[in-house]
């Protein structure tokens, strides 16, 4: 048996483990329950993937994010490790076959969304599976006090009723003491081994500034660090497009990333940024999971995150190389109002959610007492328009119905076309004799997709058409014919979100929302919003506030805007500005360097202009020589 170090070197190409990884790996190999609180970029996946390779049986990884599951499976498969994923949007047949393969030992890793645990089809296969360990990723989702509570996570501990001696391991990057205790209790972790890294990131300087001109400040800052790598987070796709367009027009090398882009566009944008062809990535919070670029020198929040946990995770994508980085946040009164309005937006009135529930079944022509296990595509914008509903109401209402266990909602990510041959070789041979026009395609599938009789394989229709000297419509038609004949199960590619109904439609569309899904979560969300507002408006050290939120005590950091401002208090601000203008600067840079408020910087710049000591031209503040 290879040692963890051998596997690390042979499979991942690393010579050494990161701090804390080896101890977690040793505990999991010994079969101990583990709680691991590792900061963003701490390399948590290797902590359970290496034991999963060493231990006999399949490792179940429970994760709430489809895009992350897909990414993890692709990475494992590319390294020669057998892995698959189950999530909302897959057909019943595909789920059935994937679970059968897991039962018969075809995978080392099976990733699945928490909602899958409640289905009878999973439970029956799980009983027969040889499971080595259960990994709970994003474990804070199990706690009603966490920032991303999902009731389906509470069902995880019930798996122990079927396999009492299973190893459980909970991983999270953000959990305060209350959430940590909740995770351990809810999962019923036995003789748990605790592995907790400090939240302290001494190389990151946290800066938050009130401004009346967010776009101008962002532009100035990016221009001043034109050769440095950065990320700018916006809350909306429109915001992403506007900021990216503004930066490009001013000569800043940048790209963008959001859920509305095609998969190929997102991949290209990501690649260009990772390879430093573009220096800045403007993105929604869809960007970042699994990203480990070491040289990010700054992370700017153009829009404010709605929880301290989200802000901390996103900011933590800077300075992974342990070199200095800046976490810069710009806000104004509109942002504060938006944060407060978010409560009503994310938690629509219950009668509106009940109306949405009814409209969904009507829209997809599902009768009372029917619907369970049906999977349908939904264009949220078109659905909302057709039924005269607000788009945000539909989106957040669907999320609440998902948390309530009524349906599963896939993310708006690219689902590639997939195929599996459903007949044996002899039956296929007889079919090819009768349907010679389809033989070129069936033989191509057999030759080029090893295991296509047993597993669903991703296919690129354009590539197949090219190699068979055909065209996309012709190949698509042949695939549909094979599907109709029952020779294969063909699942076309899709970029639309999908809904999987987990329950039958109730009589008279009666909807009962669980308190943990609505009332308790709404109160928790209001608390999260208030914590963010306190962080923005507070006068104490930013780092101290963040660490205290996660239960850590620390001294002032001496690097945040509050600490820098305190340090510069004894100096006259106008004099300080003059000393910083040994080369042309900007208002944003001067705010960053002094920790001073925008209004104070502007007032002193106006004074220095009147004194004819400085000049301003093309965003630049310069000394008059």
Query: What does the buried/exposed string (b/e) look like for 526-547 if buried means 16 or more CB atoms within 10 Å of the residue's CB?
Result: eebbebbbebbeeeebbbbbbb
Using an 8 Å Cβ cutoff, are 529 and 340 in contact? Answer: yes
Using an 8 Å Cβ cutoff, are 112 and 61 in contact? Answer: yes
Q: Look at residue 74 in the predicted model and tell me its pLDDT.
A: 86
DSSP, collapsed to helix, strand or coil, labels residue 389 as coil
DSSP, collapsed to helix, strand or coil, labels residue 368 as coil
Tokens of 326: 């800046």
Q: Look at residue 120 in the predicted model and tell me its pLDDT.
A: 83
Using an 8 Å Cβ cutoff, are 620 and 250 in contact? Answer: no
Sign of CA dihedral 548, 549, 551, 552: negative
Phi–psi pair at 168, nearest 5 degrees: -115, 140
**Which residue shows structure tokens 């995150």?**
305
Q: Look at residue 267 in the predicted model and tell me its pLDDT.
A: 82
Blockwise average pLDDT, block size 10, the chain, 625 residues:
87 87 95 89 86 95 82 88 84 86 93 84 92 93 73 85 93 84 90 89 96 94 92 94 95 90 83 94 82 90 92 91 94 94 91 94 94 87 92 91 84 74 91 93 93 86 92 93 92 79 90 85 90 95 94 93 92 93 92 94 92 87 87
Tokens of 30: 């010994």
Using an 8 Å Cβ cutoff, are 300 and 589 in contact? Answer: no
Report how far residue 517's alpha carbon sits from residue 403's, in angstroms, rounded to the nearest whole number.
6
Q: Look at residue 590 in the predicted model and tell me its pLDDT.
A: 94
Element (H, E) at 480: helix 472-484
Q: Look at residue 457 in the predicted model and tell me its pLDDT.
A: 87
Longest dimension (CA), the chain: 94
Q: Look at residue 265 in the predicted model and tell me its pLDDT.
A: 86
Q: Look at residue 602 in the predicted model and tell me its pLDDT.
A: 93
Q: DSSP string of 340-354?
A: HHHHHHHS--HHHHH
Sign of CA dihedral 593, 598, 602, 604: negative
Residues in the chain, total: 625
Query: What does the buried/exposed string (b/e) look like for 228-247 if buried means 16 or more CB atoms within 10 Å of the residue's CB?
Result: ebbbbbbbebebbeebbebb
Tokens of 455: 């597993």
Any idea what DSSP says for residue 511? -
Q: DSSP string of 210-269?
A: E-S-HHHHHHHHHHHTTTSEEEEE-SSHHHHHHHHHHHHHTT--EEEE-TTS-HHHHHHH
Q: How many CA atoms lie within 13 A of 117 on its CB side?
A: 23
Using an 8 Å Cβ cutoff, are 446 and 459 in contact? Answer: no
CA proximity to 589, closest of 220, 208, 203, 210? 220
Report how far residue 228's alpha carbon sits from residue 222's, in angstroms, rounded to the nearest whole number.
8
Element (H, E) at 59: strand 58-62
Report how far residue 197's alpha carbon sits from residue 353's, in angstroms, rounded to the nearest whole number.
41
Report how far residue 165's alpha carbon sits from residue 33's, in angstroms, rounded to the nearest whole number.
10
Any idea what DSSP says for residue 328? E
Q: DSSP string of 567-593?
A: HTTTS-HHHHHHHHTTS-B-HHHHHHH
Q: Look at residue 413 in the predicted model and tell me its pLDDT.
A: 57
Report how far residue 155's alpha carbon sits from residue 150's, in angstroms, rounded to the nearest whole number.
10
Show the DSSP H helices in 148-198 as ranges: 177-186
């Amino acid at each position: 048996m290879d040692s963890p170090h051998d596997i690390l070197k042979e499979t991942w190409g690393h010579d050494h483990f990161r701090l804390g990884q080896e101890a977690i790996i040793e505990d999991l190999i010994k079969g101990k329950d583990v709680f691991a609180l590792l900061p963003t970029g701490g390399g948590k996946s290797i902590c359970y993937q290496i034991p999963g390779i060493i231990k006999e049986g399949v490792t179940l990884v429970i994760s709430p994010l489809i895009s992350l599951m897909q990414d993890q499976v692709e990475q494992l498969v590319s390294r020669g490790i057998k892995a698959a994923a189950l999530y909302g949007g897959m057909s019943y047949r595909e789920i059935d076959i994937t679970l059968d393969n897991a039962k018969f030992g075809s995978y080392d890793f099976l990733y699945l969304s928490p909602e899958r645990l409640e289905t009878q089809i999973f439970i029956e296969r799980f009983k027969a599976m040889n499971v080595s360990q259960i990994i709970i990723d994003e474990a804070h989702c199990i706690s009603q006090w966490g920032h991303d509570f999902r009731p389906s996570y509470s069902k995880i501990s019930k798996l122990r009723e079927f396999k009492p001696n299973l190893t459980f391991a909970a991983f999270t990057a953000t959990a305060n003491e209350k959430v940590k205790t909740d995770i351990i209790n809810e999962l019923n972790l036995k003789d748990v081994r605790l592995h907790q890294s400090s939240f302290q990131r001494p190389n990151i300087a946290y800066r938050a500034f009130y401004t009346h001109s967010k776009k101008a400040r962002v532009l100035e800052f990016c221009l001043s660090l034109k050769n440095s790598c950065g990320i700018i987070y916006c809350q909306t796709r429109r915001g992403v497009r506007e900021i990216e367009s503004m930066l490009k027009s001013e000569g800043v090398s940048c790209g963008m990333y959001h859920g509305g882009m095609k998969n190929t566009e997102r991949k290209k944008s990501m690649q260009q940024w990772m390879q430093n062809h573009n220096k800045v990535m403007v993105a929604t919070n869809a960007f970042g999971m699994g990203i480990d670029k070491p040289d990010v020198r700054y992370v700017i929040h153009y829009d404010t995150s709605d929880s301290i946990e989200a802000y901390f995770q996103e900011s933590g994508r800077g300075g992974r190389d342990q070199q200095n980085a800046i976490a810069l946040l710009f806000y104004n009164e509109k942002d504060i109002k938006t944060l407060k309005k978010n409560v009503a937006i994310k938690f629509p009135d219950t009668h509106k959610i009940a109306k949405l529930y009814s409209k969904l079944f009507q829209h997809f022509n599902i009768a009372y007492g029917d619907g369970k296990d049906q999977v349908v595509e939904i264009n949220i914008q078109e659905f909302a328009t057709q039924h005269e509903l607000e788009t945000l109401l539909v989106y957040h209402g669907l999320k609440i119905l998902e948390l309530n266990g009524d349906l599963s909602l896939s993310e708006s990510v690219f689902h590639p076309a997939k195929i599996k041959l459903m007949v044996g070789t002899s039956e296929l041979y007889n079919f090819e004799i009768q349907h010679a026009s389809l033989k070129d395609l069936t033989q191509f599938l057999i030759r080029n997709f090893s295991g296509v009789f047993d597993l669903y394989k991703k296919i690129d229709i354009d590539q197949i058409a090219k190699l068979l000297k055909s065209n996309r419509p012709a190949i698509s038609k042949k695939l549909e014919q094979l599907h109709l004949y029952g020779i294969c199960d063909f699942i076309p590619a899709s970029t639309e979100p999908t809904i999987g109904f987990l329950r039958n439609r109730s009589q008279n569309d009666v909807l009962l929302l669980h308190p943990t899904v609505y009332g308790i979560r709404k109160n928790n969300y209001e608390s999260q919003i208030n914590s963010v507002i306190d962080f923005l408006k507070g006068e104490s050290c930013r780092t101290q506030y963040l660490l205290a939120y996660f239960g850590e005590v620390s001294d002032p950091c001496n690097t945040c805007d509050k600490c820098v401002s305190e340090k510069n208090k004894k100096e006259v601000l106008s004099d300080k500005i003059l000393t910083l203008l040994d080369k042309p600067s900007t208002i944003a840079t001067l705010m960053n360097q002094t920790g001073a408020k925008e209004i104070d910087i502007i007032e002193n710049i106006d004074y220095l202009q009147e004194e004819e000591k400085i000049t301003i031209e093309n965003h630049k503040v310069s000394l008059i020589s």
